[in-house]
Amino acid sequence: MIDNSRRAYSVNPISSEEIEGAFDAVFYAIGFEARSAFIARRFLSRSSSIYGIDLYSPGLLSYDENLAWAKSNNVKVVAKGDLSLGRANPFCMNADGNGRLLIDVSSMDRRTLSLLIFQVLRGCVSSRTQVYFLYAPSFFTPPAAKLIPAEFSGPVNDVLGGEAKDPRSPTVLFLGLGYELGLALGVVETFEPARVLAYAPRGVDKRFDRQVDRANLPLFSDGRYVDRIEYSLRSPANAMIDLKDRFLSMREHARIVFVPLGPKLFASMAILCGYIYWPDICVWRISSRLDEKSAQREADGTVAGFRLQIDSW
């Protein structure tokens, strides 16, 4: 497990100057989205080590191209299975002085993200490590026009399954909203929580925002117990702090479940909270069957993110 007893965590916004420097290690996903290697390409020359987590999707959309690029640029390809909780850390983490790490969350599925974060947090031995979580927003692609069946519904991994609590404790759902039709509503119907905090992302491309609102309108039609909270993808540090503060205010009296649908940046925040405040948070994932028509994502050229500082003693 991750020993938090001798650590302090803080979250900060990122300036563009900060991310221009060198990194000890960069982690990203070799996936099927076109934007998969967007950030990796940018930091290739500024990183001592660059690790590509192979999501293994041969023949699917841009995967073959992304894998070829990784191999031809000396990216250390790590199989997804090597991140498994029961395995040793597959990365060489910097043990001396300060560490600067970068995690590109853009194309990572939530489970892989949770395992990667676990390995990175567990492997941090420097007295101070800065972990930059970056996200490359994509150009708008319309979502599937129908409900997509779920392929999996359960904790994101077996560390983040939460802890059983006094049965009198009400369940509070921290729900990240995505633009998939009906998914958030289905989650609420499944859990039947006492209260829902629904986090609606606001980005630059308003088409995403409109689609998120449209897809989730029924969630708010019986809004007595659903609170809507907007967060900006341009200010993710603020969102992380908000998430953490709300959780801490409810921690003692409720069973907390995070279901981070929507942008992976929000998922990374939820997963981080899960590890930092283990075992009080259950982080749940629902993965839907892939809809190839709406799955391709091209980076719009911008980058957003936040910095996690880990001080150990």
Partner 1 sequence: MLVGPRGSGKTTLLKMLQLSALQKWTSPLRDSVVKELDFTAVYLAADYSWTSLFSLDDRPMSTEVQRIIASSLFNTYLQYSFLDALEEISNEALLADPDLKKFYVDVSKVESTICSALASQWLLDGNTPTFFILRSKLGLRLHQISQLTEDVRAGEKSGVSEVRGNHPFVDLHFSLLLKTTVDTINACIGQRERHWCICVDELEIIPESLRRIVFRALRSVDPRILLKLSLSPFSVDLFENKDGTIPMPGQDYSPIYLSYPRSADAVRFGRQLANSLLSEMKLESSSLEHIFGHSDEAAAEPTDRAPLSVYAAPNGERYKLFARLDELDPSFHQFLQKRRYDIRRMPNMSESERAQLRKLLQIVRARLEFRDFSVRGGDSSDRGFRRSRKRIHSMYTGIEALLTICEGNPRWILGILHPLIGSYKVHVERHSNSTRVDRARQARQISRVVIRYRALLSTIPFAKQKSGQKATVLELIDKIGEYMFRDVVLRTFKPEPVLSFVVDQKVSEAQIMALGSAINQGAFVLVPNRKGESTEGLIRSSRFRMSYLLAPEFQLPLTYGAQINLSSILSSEFTQFFMDDL
Residues making contact with partner 1 (CB under 8 A): 1, 84-86, 145-155, 157-159, 161-168, 181-183, 185-187, 189-191, 214-215, 217-218, 221, 255, 279, 282, 284, 286, 288-289
Of 22, 28, 73, nearest to 299 by C-alpha is 28
Report how far apart, in Å, the C-alpha atoms of 250 and of each of 70, 123, 141, 173, 199 are.
44, 30, 36, 11, 16
In the block, residue with structure tokens 């395995």: 87
Q: Give least dist CB 296 to partner 1, A.
A: 21
Residue 131 or 183: which CB sits closer to partner 1?
Answer: 183
State the sign of the Cα–Cα–Cα–Cα dihedral 64, 69, 74, 76: negative
Give yes or no for a contact between 16 and 40, defined as CB atoms under 8 angstroms apart: no
Residue 1 or 125: which CB sits closer to partner 1?
Answer: 1
Q: Give least dist CB 83 to partner 1, A.
A: 10
Dist. CA 95–CA 127, nearest whole Å: 9
Residue 190 or 302: which CB sits closer to partner 1?
Answer: 190
Residue 159 or 250: which CB sits closer to partner 1?
Answer: 159
| Cα 203 → chain centroid | 16
Residue 12 or 153: which CB sits closer to partner 1?
Answer: 153
SS3 181: coil
Q: Give least dist CB 12 to partner 1, A.
A: 30
Q: Give least dist CB 16 to partner 1, A.
A: 37
Residue 45 or 221: which CB sits closer to partner 1?
Answer: 221
Residue 65 or 151: which CB sits closer to partner 1?
Answer: 151
Phi, psi (deg, nearest 5) at residue 174: -100, 105
Dist. CA 87–CA 17, nearest whole Å: 36
158 — alpha (psi -120 to 50), left (phi > 0) or beta?
alpha
| Cα 290 → chain centroid | 18
Q: Give least dist CB 261 to partner 1, A.
A: 11
Task: Show Cβ contacts of residue 312 under 8 Å, excluding neighbours closer than 6 positions.
Answer: 6, 7, 124, 125, 126, 127, 128, 129
